[in-house]
Amino acid sequence: MNLIDSIKAKAKLINKTIVLPEGEAERTLKAADKIIEEQLAKIILVGDENIIKMATKKFSLNHIAEAEILDPSTNKYRQKMIDLLMEIRKEKGLTYDEAFELTKQPLYLGPLLVKMGLADGEVSGAEHATGDVLRPAFQIVKTAPNSSVVSGAFLMILKDTTYSEDGLLVFADCAVNPDPNEQQLAEIAVATAETARKIAGIEPRVAMLSFSTKGSAQHSAVDKVKKATALAKLMNPNLQIDGEMQADAAIVNAIGQKKAPGSKIAGHANVLVFPDLNSGNIGYKLVERLAGADAIGPVLQGMAAPINDLSRGCSVDDIVNLVAITANQAV
Ligand code: ACO
């Protein structure tokens, strides 16, 4: 069974409820239909009920009737949501009128349903930029108790298995933090190892990437990665992690042994933690395009409940897969 099939099989067993705030969009509706047909999760669609019903007919979707619809214009949870928003955001100066307006916005309704316990997770972003999806989630669902930073990991499924764990590598942060400090980078490393174990089903060996391997170059950017590696070891003493190291030293055995002799990670890493978002985002896109890898994610980690952001170029199957992953994260 491949990775996605096993993630879907688990989603089927646990039968979580996932909210899709872009419920009027064609790709979301087609994905929801498939998710319900395959019994991967229970679905809440946010959107105008009439538009959803018309689209259901137009695209001959046979299973959407089983989804719950939350229409922002008639929102039956409005007062509870206003009260919740006022409670969560009162220190930030949110007024009643502003809270009222937010309860009409689908990208706020998703995280609100999660916070109220009416959904186990949210998937959106097929029609919106990452920041617009993440901001309401950060404000309402917030970070998990032992976490101060949310980051985005990609499960990279490679055709060539030479430099990976049976064709699988986990990359982070490729989606959220433009320039994490050493503490944040350490947290990202620990969280990514957890994602590798829980979602990808592999025993993580984490390489902290840099343009330097074990002091081959001196720069404040290298020092950041060194300090983050030490902090991550303090946060989780059992974590198999090493750095700083270059990408080739991380995944090519002969180069790893030459540049970082004695390292148990060098040459064998299956989790690659990038020093900043420039390198992480560029890195995953290059591997996706040049190596023809499937890039699954970003899987957001560090949030108090699973909220995941799609790429605007996503396919129906990408939405289905991310819903299955989100359901797995909700366990
Ligand atoms: N983790 C947890 N909480 C966060 C994070 C984070 N990484 N970043 C911001 N927050 C919280 C803040 O604490 C704040 O909470 P508060 O209002 O309760 O105080 C709230 O979110 C808003 O914070 P701002 O700093 O005002 O948020 P801002 O809008 O500036 O930035 C954002 C957040 C949108 C995630 C920004 O960092 C960003 O745009 N990142 C890049 C996203 C991106 O474009 N990625 C590349 C594309 S994705 C892809 O290709 C797969």
- The CATH number of the structural domain formed by 151-294 is 3.40.50.10750
Distance of CA 262 to the CA centre of its chain: 33
Instruction: From 85, 138, 151, give the residue whose CB has the most ligand 1 atoms within 8 Å, as the site to mutate.
Output: 138
Instruction: From 148, 176, 287, give the residue whose CB has the most ligand 1 atoms within 8 Å, as the site to mutate.
Output: 176
**Contact yes or no for 123/323 (Cβ under 8 A):** yes
Q: Which atom of ligand 1 is nearest to the CA of 131?
A: 34
Give the C-alpha separation, 246 to 297, whole Å: 24
Tell me the three state secondary structure of residue 115: helix
Local confidence band at 297 (pLDDT 50, 70, 90 cut-offs): confident
The values of phi and psi at residue 97, to 5°, are -65, -40
Q: How far is the CA of 300 from the centre of ligand 1 (A)?
A: 12
pTM: 0.91
Q: What percent of the chain has pLDDT over 70?
A: 100
> pLDDT tens-digit profile of 65-78?
999 999 999 999 99
Q: How far is the CA of 131 from the centre of ligand 1 (A)?
A: 6
Q: Same CATH topology for 3-142+305-329 and 151-294?
A: yes
Residue ranges of domains in the chain: 3-142+305-329, 151-294
Model confidence at 8: pLDDT above 90: yes
- Residues near ligand 1 with C-beta < 6 Å? 92, 130-131, 134-135, 138-139, 143, 149-150, 175-178, 281, 298, 311
Q: How far is the CA of 49 from the centre of ligand 1 (A)?
A: 31
Q: How far is the CA of 133 from the centre of ligand 1 (A)?
A: 10
Model confidence at 1: pLDDT above 90: no
- Nearest Cα neighbor of 321 from 329, 135, 168 is 329
Identify the residue whose C-alpha is closest to ligand 1 atom 11.
138
Instruction: From 92, 133, 135, 187, give the residue whose CB has the most ligand 1 atoms within 8 Å, as the site to mutate.
Output: 135
Give the C-alpha separation, 320 to 136, whole Å: 22
> pLDDT tens-digit profile of 90-148?
889 999 999 999 999 999 999 999 999 999 999 999 999 999 999 999 999 999 998 99
Looking at the chain, how many residues does it have? 331
Domain 3-142+305-329 listed as CATH 3.30.1200.10:
no
Q: How far is the CA of 317 from the centre of ligand 1 (A)?
A: 27
Q: Which atom of ligand 1 is nearest to the CA of 154?
A: 51
